[in-house]
Amino acid sequence: MTELTAVRPDAGTVIFNLPDYRGLDAEILAFGQRRIHVESTAEAGCPSCGVIGARRHSRRRQRIRDILVAGPVEVLWSKYRYFCDEALCARKTFVESTPQVPRRARSTRRLRDALVSAVINSGRAAAEAAAAHGVSWWLVQDALNQAATQLPDVDRLRPRMLGIDEHRFRSVRFFKDPETNQWKRYEPWMATIVDLDTGQVLGIVDGRDSKGVGAWLFARPLTWRLGVQVVAIDPSAAFRKALRMWLPRTAVSVDAFHLVKLANDALTGVRQRLSQEVRGRRRGPRTRPGPIGACCCAPATASRRPGWSASPMSSARMTPPGSCRQPGR
């Protein structure tokens, strides 16, 4: 006869499906929102010495943000504080934490993973993903920043195609140089290197010149650089210089957006030049003949035909002066 060696979870815990947690109670609030009380089932260890806590010091309820479970849900975690039984440990008490809710966290890890997946994999805007999950835009942006900074071990990967592009992550700033006592303009640019096959971010360097990208490529092993076949960039001379130096045998491709944009700009320039040469003017709406500053809605003082005069009725039907807006005036 086979007997169960673990406690079978109840139906609410199975539906909620948050690892290392079990449901205690559920209630419906006055405005229709659901509230779920949970507690941790994992063993709590001291973050300083690692000793498992056995004696509880106190308990408090913490509200945490989680994914939508058939609608918005408010989660209250009965969080315990334990005594550290290690005599040599300087920490006397500690608060439990789990992989889903680390220390000083207010949202579950599965919620942050869902926000990153909604923006990167689904191509949704950060504001749209925040509204769909019922969180703030700042939480979505913080999850994206944390996912971007956790870069993989690039030297162990073998990418075939790379993509390099620059990005300005904030507005222009001015800083005063303490040595020269002069203000200097600072544009916070950064260059991002991605794997075009997987879309994974491989590296982020400061600036958009050849030094930053070249130093990043120089730090890669020789076998890694020989495995790269194609690099897609925008028409940047700085990126081309870095690739010519450290990836001389790699084919360089210009992305379709900048290629089409350059072709459209060249075509627009030719059309404007031909229009000015043939018609003697720039392309645009024709202006009415008359002295500079004249308005078409002003009362007429002289007739267009010799011997005629403006009638009182035509002057009465004129619009107030200055109400028209002629192009080029």
| Cα 160 from Cα 164, distance rounded (Å) | 13
- DSSP summary character for residue 45: B
- Comparing 314 with 210, the larger pLDDT belongs to 210
Global pTM value? 0.54
- DSSP summary character for residue 300: P
Average pLDDT value for residue range 180-209: 85
Average pLDDT value for residue range 59-85: 90
Distances (CA, A) of 17 to 78, 95, 250: 17, 23, 48
Would you say 252 and 240 are in contact if contact means Cβ atoms under 8 Å apart?
yes
How does pLDDT run across 250-259, given as a tens digit for each residue? 999 888 888 8
| Cα 90 from Cα 110, distance rounded (Å) | 33
The pLDDT value given to residue 329: 43
| Cα 49 from Cα 89, distance rounded (Å) | 6
CA–CA–CA angle 201, 206, 212 (5° rounding): 90
Instruction: Work out the mean pLDDT of the chain and round it to a whole number.
Output: 81
Average pLDDT value for residue range 288-295: 49
**Token pair 């609410």 in the structure block, residue:** 12
| Cα 158 from Cα 308, distance rounded (Å) | 87
Residue 170, pLDDT > 80, answer no
| Cα 193 from Cα 231, distance rounded (Å) | 10
Average pLDDT value for residue range 85-100: 90
How does pLDDT run across 3-49, given as a tens digit for each residue? 555 567 777 788 888 888 988 888 888 777 888 999 999 889 899 88
Confidence band of 264 (pLDDT split at 50, 70, 90): very high
| Region for residue 146 given its phi and psi (left: phi exceeds 0; alpha: psi -120 to 50; beta: otherwise) | alpha
The pLDDT value given to residue 315: 44
Would you say 294 and 321 are in contact if contact means Cβ atoms under 8 Å apart?
no
Residue 149 in tokens: 């900074």
Average pLDDT value for residue range 151-173: 85
The pLDDT value given to residue 255: 80
Residue 125, pLDDT > 90, answer no
Average pLDDT value for residue range 140-168: 85
Would you say 56 and 82 are in contact if contact means Cβ atoms under 8 Å apart?
yes
Average pLDDT value for residue range 242-268: 90
H or E stretch at 138: helix 137-149
Would you say 304 and 288 are in contact if contact means Cβ atoms under 8 Å apart?
no
Instruction: Considering only the C-alpha atoms of the chain, give the largest distance between any 2 of them, rounded to a whole number of Å.
Output: 122
Confidence band of 175 (pLDDT split at 50, 70, 90): confident
- Comparing 39 with 170, the larger pLDDT belongs to 39
Residue 314, pLDDT > 60, answer no
The pLDDT value given to residue 310: 47
- Comparing 298 with 20, the larger pLDDT belongs to 20
Ordered DSSP codes for 89-124: -S--EEE---SSS-TT--B-HHHHHHHHHHHHTS--
- Comparing 136 with 329, the larger pLDDT belongs to 136
**Nearest of 179, 174, 126, 171 to residue 148 by alpha carbon:** 126
The pLDDT value given to residue 68: 86
**Residue 112 burial by Cβ neighbours in a 10 Å radius (0-12, 13-18, 19+):** buried
Average pLDDT value for residue range 78-99: 91
Q: Per residue in 197-217, is it b (16+ CB within 10 Å) or e — as a string?
A: eeeebbbbbeebbbebbbebb
Residue 304, pLDDT > 60, answer no
Would you say 203 and 214 are in contact if contact means Cβ atoms under 8 Å apart?
no
| Cα 62 from Cα 59, distance rounded (Å) | 10
- Comparing 171 with 288, the larger pLDDT belongs to 171
**Residue 234 burial by Cβ neighbours in a 10 Å radius (0-12, 13-18, 19+):** middle
